[in-house]
């Protein structure tokens, strides 16, 4: 059913916001990662794919455009779920099999890759100015806390998610070519 909704959104037959409201009312509080983890593996994977469909709403961006809250929530959930699945906490709980985790993480990465930097909540200028302020502090200066903008925090979350995924080899399983060569000889 979720895959059908996904294709209806892609075909622009259904509105992304409306579909999210129906899912919240009939299936699960999709903004809550703890509730999502309790879902069946295949349902969770389909929901993750569907959460990536928010980019279809508007391909063009106006200078005055405000990020819609339902898209911001969808991106937040994808990032939080990805961070949870790549954390050591999830390894200890291990509700999901490693193969299911790998599929869901792959779907999270694919869904996030559909969104532009605007929809991801990343502003390059804000990140540059924050990095410049951080680098501009001298070694002898007192280290006072620099307030990070929402864009910088989002950037760091995405960076952590990607690095955790690569570190755990969730996306790129190691293939041992040595066994193949021995069989062929």
> pLDDT (tens digit, 9 = 90+) per residue, 51-65?
988 877 655 555 556
> CA–CA separation, 32 vs 81, rounded Å?
9
| pLDDT score, position 48 | 92
Using the predicted structure, report yes or no on whether residue 41 has a pLDDT greater than 80.
yes
> pLDDT (tens digit, 9 = 90+) per residue, 107-144?
998 998 888 888 887 777 767 776 666 665 555 444 45
Of 157, 144, 101, 149, the C-alpha closest to 123 is: 149
């Amino acid at each position: 059913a979720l895959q059908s909704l996904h294709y209806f959104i892609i075909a622009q037959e259904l509105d992304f916001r409306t579909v999210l409201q129906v899912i919240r009312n009939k299936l699960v509080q999709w903004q809550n990662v703890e509730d999502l983890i309790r879902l069946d593996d295949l349902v969770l994977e389909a929901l993750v794919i569907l959460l990536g469909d928010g980019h279809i709403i508007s391909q063009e961006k106006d200078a005055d455009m405000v990020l819609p809250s339902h898209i911001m929530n969808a991106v937040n959930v994808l990032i939080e779920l990805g961070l949870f699945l790549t954390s050591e906490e999830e390894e200890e709980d291990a509700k999901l099999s490693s193969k299911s985790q790998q599929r869901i993480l792959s779907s999270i990465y694919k869904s996030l890759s559909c969104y532009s930097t605007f929809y991801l909540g990343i502003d390059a200028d804000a990140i540059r100015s924050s990095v410049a302020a951080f680098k501009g502090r001298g070694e002898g200066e007192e280290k006072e806390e620099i307030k990070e903008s929402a864009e910088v925090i989002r950037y760091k979350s995405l960076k952590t998610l990607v690095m955790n995924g690569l570190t755990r080899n969730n996306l790129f399983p190691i293939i041992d070519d040595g066994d193949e060569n021995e069989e062929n000889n």
